Structure 1
Amino acid sequence: MESIRKPFQGVSNIIRFNWHFYVMAIFVILLCLLFIPFVHESLRIMLLVLIALLTIPVLGSLLVSYYVYDVSGLYKLSWIAGKDNQNILHISAGFDETSAIIKAKFPAAQLVNCDFYNADRHTEISIKRARLKYPLADGCMAINSTNLPFEDSSFDLILAIFSVHEIRDQEERILFFKQLHRVLSDDGTIQVTEHLRDLPNFLAYQIGFFHFYSLNTWKHTFAEAGFALKSEIKVNPFVSTFDLKKVNHGNPS
């Protein structure tokens, strides 16, 4: 199953989709190195400190990304509570790395793949680059995040892996989960896999951790949409999967 992914695929995508950040860091480092031989010793020390402050976080974040996406076993998807006889909805946002793995894991399941990326709503530059590199796959439905084209109670399991954080507007995010509530069967499960805005991700990604949501933000979103958080699975120290169940069996208002 892991052969579906290539070596270094995770960290190489991080660089490919966020190359502007690395170009700026390298430019500043080279500029500092250029000036070091020509400046006073006190300023030279300051430049060396600046180089260290840029180099260590950049290399550290890439090492963590390599661990998370390439060697931690994340893409074994061992936490998924699926069965071969289930109807499974898989949701991506501009970039799908997991549907093929899910299909291989549950070959007899009825798997529906959909993607809610909308260039007008979801404006992060990294996800725009991802969509340009990986266009919508054949058989994957383009959907509206606030109006899913599925019947009520259509799915036994819904999987959203590194996708929902791309909905930056809280109201849209809650409406999206209300739609998931509608299309999930009464005894079904939603599993949401995300980084969190917490200490491990701050140490790993520094300012980049603001792209993630806090645990309290996720809990608020789930509760507003009519879900109970049954468990949080730590896939690795930097990634969590939330198991959600319906609190009530009607559609939340």
Structure 2
Amino acid sequence: MEKIDRKPFQGVVNIIRFNWHFYAIAALLLVLLGYFSEYPLLRAAGWLLVGSVLLSLTASWYIYDRSALYSLHWLDDLITSPGKQLLNVHAGFDETSYLLSQKYPGSKLTVFDFYDPVKHTEVSIERARRVYAAYPGTQTITTANIPVMTASADMILVFMAAHEIRDEAERIIFFRELRRSLQDQGRIVVVEHLRDIRNFMVYNLGFFHFFSRSTWQRTFLAANLDMASEIKITPFLSAFLLEKNGMAS
């Protein structure tokens, strides 16, 4: 398979492209604040807005363009071997399947897309789907049904996708289905931003789109999964290693 290389600034450009409405609103607010710039408080608000936007874009550039995120080297700290059956489950925007196929050429990679425009209403995903073609053979599924045999997967990756399942009950059902699909000694890797002080500092109110560590722990526990470990890919991004309850070595 042809090697896939990310372009410079691809991450931050995608963020602007897929979330342009936020930046349009920010620009409009900046124009309005500039119109009333003779008032010190409004002038300060304008500078605060500019600083907030620049900070979030700089952090995103670091995370998605400068860090080792898309090298997938951090997976080596969690998984010694992916095994023969590898699942990649995403929410409509897939940046990792080609990378996984390159990293683990000896594994059979199956890709699932659980995006449902009725339940998962993030407009940025709709825009991303129009720009990027799906990985060949990607299967559309629901969060309640992963069409694989029970205990068949050696490794499952859910890369910055599970937070799109906003309903807690649906999220628990999804993780129970992941557990059903997993072999007894298999591993699930979940990558997510967290609703914490670090992400608040760089994404401001946008951090409410993420879930807290305690929320994820509650979800994993309800799905009968143990969090074997957690690593920081960047200070703003966590990777959780999950095992079936009682299978930790």
What range is the shorter-chain TM-score in? Answer: over 0.9
| Alignment match, 1:106 | 104
- RMSD of aligned residue pairs (Cα, Å): 1.7
Counterpart pick for 2:67 among 56, 68, 72: 72
Cα distance in 2 for partners of 1:85, 1:94 equals 25
Cα distance in 2 for partners of 1:3, 1:111 equals 16
Cα distance in 1 for partners of 2:178, 2:246 equals 13
1:55 and 2:56 correspond: no
Cα distance in 2 for partners of 1:115, 1:93 equals 5
Cα displacement (A) at 1:85: 4.5
Cα distance in 2 for partners of 1:104, 1:209 equals 32
User: In terms of Rg, which structure is larger?
Assistant: 1
Q: 1:139 to 1:183 in 2, by over 3 A?
A: same
Cα distance in 2 for partners of 1:70, 1:200 equals 18
Cα displacement (A) at 1:20: 0.6
| Alignment match, 1:10 | 11
Gaps of 5+ in 1: none
Q: 1:2 to 1:212 in 2, by over 3 A?
A: farther
Cα displacement (A) at 1:248: 4.9
Cα displacement (A) at 1:50: 1.4
SS of the equivalent of 1:63 reads helix
Alignment map for 1:187-202 (pairs within 5 Å): 187-202=185-200
Alignment map for 1:1-253 (pairs within 5 Å): 4-36=5-37, 39=38, 43=39, 45-80=40-75, 81=79, 83=81, 85-248=83-246
Cα displacement (A) at 1:2: 9.0
Q: 1:32 to 1:2 in 2, by over 3 A?
A: farther
Q: 1:185 to 1:133 in 2, by over 3 A?
A: same
- The answer to whether the Cα contact below 8 Å between 2:162 and 2:171 also exists between their aligned partners in 1 is yes
Cα distance in 2 for partners of 1:85, 1:56 equals 46
- The answer to whether the Cα contact below 8 Å between 1:122 and 1:167 also exists between their aligned partners in 2 is yes
SS of the equivalent of 2:163 reads helix
- The answer to whether the Cα contact below 8 Å between 2:4 and 2:98 also exists between their aligned partners in 1 is no
Cα distance in 1 for partners of 2:126, 2:174 equals 20
AA of the residue aligned to 2:162:
V
Cα distance in 2 for partners of 1:231, 1:64 equals 25
SS of the equivalent of 2:233 reads strand
Cα distance in 2 for partners of 1:204, 1:163 equals 20
AA of the residue aligned to 2:126:
K
- The answer to whether the Cα contact below 8 Å between 2:111 and 2:135 also exists between their aligned partners in 1 is no
Matched-pair identity in %: 47
Gaps of 5+ in 2: none
AA of the residue aligned to 2:47:
A
SS of the equivalent of 2:74 reads coil
AA of the residue aligned to 1:70:
D
- The answer to whether the Cα contact below 8 Å between 2:82 and 2:155 also exists between their aligned partners in 1 is no
Cα displacement (A) at 1:49: 0.5
- The answer to whether the Cα contact below 8 Å between 2:82 and 2:154 also exists between their aligned partners in 1 is no
- The answer to whether the Cα contact below 8 Å between 1:82 and 1:106 also exists between their aligned partners in 2 is no
Q: 1:136 to 1:82 in 2, by over 3 A?
A: farther
Aligned length: 243
Cα displacement (A) at 1:35: 4.1
Q: 1:197 to 1:152 in 2, by over 3 A?
A: same
Q: 1:51 to 1:187 in 2, by over 3 A?
A: same
SS of the equivalent of 2:180 reads helix
